[in-house]
């Protein structure tokens, strides 16, 4: 449930099956009444819920219900242990170029066999100081530790949240595989810089790196 605070997640789950009054929510949740009121106001502001009838009941918006149910269906078939939510930010001097880059990255993520996509959304580009910016927000699971390393380095998320599990153990083989993946990525970057920089630039780079 992207965009939900922990309290809002609890409220949303209670509203998933039927609308409830503020009093009903207060009885079922371990949330101070004033905090509950504040969270409900914020959810109304964000367009996540709506009011109906008298006494006032709060109802989860249908598109939110559909999204949660769709995630549940995906989760039932998902064998991957690690699930994350990440934001990948983009900037460009031209809006068209930015849109092409965002589309390219989104398509690349969707083609990854070691990822299970729950949600992937792109923000509309905005202009700021002669630059255009956008971002992709993605909710996905990864096959293993090695796949997580690959996601971090090839897609460069600016923020990442682990949704599950709360605790995890890796076998020695799986951990080793992730380290090998990490080592290979570093070697590729080193080879790339070596090819692109001349001797003087390369010497300055090492000098700055090892001060």
pLDDT on residue 202: 58
Cα 111 from chain centroid?
Answer: 17
Task: Look at residues 118, 128, 143, 43 and name the one whose alpha carbon lies nearest to residue 89.
Answer: 128
Task: Look at residues 95, 71, 91, 92 and name the one whose alpha carbon lies nearest to residue 83.
Answer: 71
pLDDT tens by residue, 24-33: 999 999 888 9
pLDDT on residue 206: 55
pLDDT on residue 9: 85
What pLDDT band is residue 210 in, cutting at 50, 70 and 90? low
Inform me whether the pLDDT recorded for 64 exceeds 90: no
Q: For residues 32 and 39, what is the distance between their CA atoms, to the nearest angstrom?
A: 11
Q: For residues 171 and 126, what is the distance between their CA atoms, to the nearest angstrom?
A: 44
What pLDDT band is residue 157 in, cutting at 50, 70 and 90? very high
Average pLDDT (158-170) is 92
Question: Does the predicted model carry a pTM greater than 0.85?
Answer: no
CB 148 within 8 A of CB 181: no
Q: For residues 21 and 140, what is the distance between their CA atoms, to the nearest angstrom?
A: 33
pLDDT on residue 208: 63
pLDDT on residue 59: 94
Inform me whether the pLDDT recorded for 1 exceeds 80: no
Helix (H) or strand (E) holding 196, with range, is: helix 172-196
Length of the chain: 211
pLDDT tens by residue, 70-102: 989 999 999 999 999 999 999 999 999 999 999
Q: Is the peptide bond preceding residue 165 cis, with omega within 30 degrees of 0?
A: yes
**CA distance readout (Å), 4 to 12, 43, 89:** 9, 8, 20
Most confident of 1-10, 122-131, 197-206: 122-131
> Hey, what long-range contacts does 66-75 have (CB within 8 A, 24 or more apart)?
67/1, 67/119, 68/1, 68/12, 68/16, 71/118, 71/119, 71/139, 74/116, 74/118, 75/118
């Amino acid at each position: 449930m992207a965009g939900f605070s922990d309290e809002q997640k609890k409220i949303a789950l209670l509203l998933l099956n039927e609308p409830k009054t503020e009093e009903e929510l207060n009885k079922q949740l371990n949330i101070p009444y004033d905090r509950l009121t504040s969270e409900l106001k914020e959810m109304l502001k964000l367009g996540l819920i709506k009011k109906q009838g008298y006494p006032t009941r709060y109802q989860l918006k249908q598109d939110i219900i559909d999204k949660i149910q769709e995630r549940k269906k995906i989760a039932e078939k998902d064998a991957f242990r690690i699930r994350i939510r990440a934001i990948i930010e983009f900037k460009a001097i031209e809006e068209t170029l930015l849109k092409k880059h965002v589309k390219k990255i989104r398509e690349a993520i969707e083609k990854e066999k070691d990822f299970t996509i729950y949600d992937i959304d792109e923000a509309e580009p905005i202009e700021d100081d002669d630059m255009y910016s956008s971002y992709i927000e993605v909710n996905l699971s990864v096959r293993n530790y090695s796949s997580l390393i690959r996601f971090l380095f090839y897609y460069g998320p600016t923020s990442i949240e682990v949704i599950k599990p709360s605790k995890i153990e890796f076998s020695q083989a799986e951990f080793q595989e992730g380290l090998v993946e990490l080592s290979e990525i570093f070697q590729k970057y080193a080879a790339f810089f070596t090819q692109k920089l001349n001797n003087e630039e390369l010497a300055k780079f090492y000098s700055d790196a090892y001060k």
